[in-house]
Structure formats: C-alpha cells, structure tokens
Structure 1
Amino acid sequence: MDSQDAVRRVYAASYRRLVVQMLALGGDQAEAEDAVQEAFVRAIGLGRRFARLDNPEAWLRTVALNQLRNRWRHLAIVQRRGGQVPGPAMVLELGPDHVALVAALATLAPDLRTVAVLHYVADRSVLQVARELDIPEGTVKSRLSRAREQLSLLLTEVEEHEHA
C-alpha cells in the first residue's frame, strides 16, 4: 500500500472520530475540523513514514491537539496584548460592486488571483509583482491578461443578472 492509500484509509476510519474529540476539547467545530485537516496535511507530508506508524490515529490526534494548543496560545497572547495591537481604524463598508469583485476574484486560480490583487488592489507595478513572487515579468503580464479576461466575463454576467 502506498502512502496516499494509507492516509485515505486512516482518513475514512478516523476523521469523524478525531473531529468529535477535538470538538470536545475546544468547543468549536470549525477549529476542530481545521486542526484535524492540518494533521492530515502533515500526514501526507510524511509520505511512507506515515504508513509505517504503529498507531497513525494517535499520531494524528497528537498533531491535531498541538494545533489546538497553538491556537489557544496565540489567542492568549492576543488577549494579553490586545490593547497594544492596533485594531481596524474603521469598519469596512463594502458595496455590491466590492462584493461582486471579491466573489469574482475568488473564482480565479490562486496564481491569477495573486497577481491581480497585488497589481490592481495593492497597486504594485508588474516589476514589483514579479520581484515579490519571484517570477518573470512576462509571467505576471500573461497572468494579468488571463485574470482580466476571466474577471471581465464574470463581472459582465453579474451586471447583466442585476439588470434583469
């Protein structure tokens, strides 16, 4: 059995049980699911070593629990230093156009979305985006072109739907 089969097998047998255990520990289903998912991601990263573990579910439980503990430590620090960390200066009020743009951006492949946001939202030049992402300028330009094309289609559909 290869490593992916081992992870799939343990996932099918243990995922639900691990989430219930983490939920009982932390009280938040989303955090419990995130912790267990992160444990499985790390299991995939182990490759063949995961398949050779004596008790893979126990290993996953330990990783998930450590994820929860790290989250709790982070929250404790934020609470202790809450007055020192500047919060948002204002509440963002997003109009329908902003919501449509964010929804359209979410449909783009991550590489296209990243260059589009850096260039158009963060106002970075093509050269700056290329340097930040460590990719050629031509790649940035082609991704921007594809992103514009896809966004144009999506935003036109939203506009037509709103006017109908």
Structure 2
Amino acid sequence: MGSAPAEADFEAFYAASSRRLLGHVYAMTGDLAEAEDALQEAYARAWQRWGRVAAYEDPEGWVRTVAYRITISAWRRTTSRLLAHRRGARPEEVPGASPDRLALIAALRAIPADQRRVIVLHHLVGLSVAEIRAETGVPEGTVKSRLARGRRALAEHLSEYADESQEAVTNV
C-alpha cells in the first residue's frame, strides 16, 4: 500500500472507529484481551486490503465481522484452555467500566454466542434486523428469533431477583 493519502485515510478510519468497535467486540466476546487481539488482527487485515475495504458501504462492519470471526476461530482452537482458565479466574476489571456495564458483560457471557452477537449488534451497535442479516449471513427470521431468545436469556441474568428466583426454584 504505502501511499500517503491512503495511509491518512486508514488512520482517520482507525481513530474514528477503534474505540467503538472495541466496545462491540468486547460485548460479543466478554473478554477484553481477546477482543483487543481480534480487533488488532482485523485492523491489520483491513490495512492490507484498504483499497477494497475503504470502498465498501460499511468498512466498520467489515472490521467488526472479521474480528468476530477471529474470536470464533480462537474459541474453537482453545475451548478447553479457556474453560479451565475461566473456572478459576476472577471477573476482570475494566478501567472506567460501570457496575451496570460489567453486569451486562457478565450476563452476555452467560448466553449462547449466536444470541449474544445479535443482541450486541442490535442493542449496542444499533443495527436493524436487516443490517444484522447482512452482517451475519443468517435469515431475518433467525435474527428475530435469536433476539427474542437472547432478550429472555439476558433478563434471567440481569434481574436483581434472578439469584433469589433460582434459589426458590431449587428449594421447592
């Protein structure tokens, strides 16, 4: 690549989108370090293809999708290692994150990845069902179904009475 205008264009894109995309990918993965690594790799790939990526209707969506796919690939390769690590790990502290934000991330970690992804894309990123369909490649009906199931699953984990209701069900 190497041309100064293209480099400046990419740098402006990165500066305008990197913080926002890190929030999106972190919400989808629930792991800040994993989100940072995946996003760094996605931006490197975008830079390598910047002539094409810059011409896309939604370069930010392209980077977000690539970062998400990188995390999925990493999960598949290291599932048992991550599970063992998370069993003994304390919740990570994120500088400047509110208790509500941390509770949301913890709740998102507790729901299936396909539901988590559409919840983040719809509620945190602000994409419509049609835009989520385009980004994920699944039918709109599936997106709607995952949103509905994801909302129900999140409600169970976000309710201030969730622990009490689980105890009540267990003690009956």
TM-score bin, normalised by smaller chain: 0.3 to 0.5
Greater RCO (CA < 8 Å, at least 6 residues apart): 2
The TM-score normalised by the length of structure 1 is 0.44
Q: Which structure has the larger Rg?
A: 1
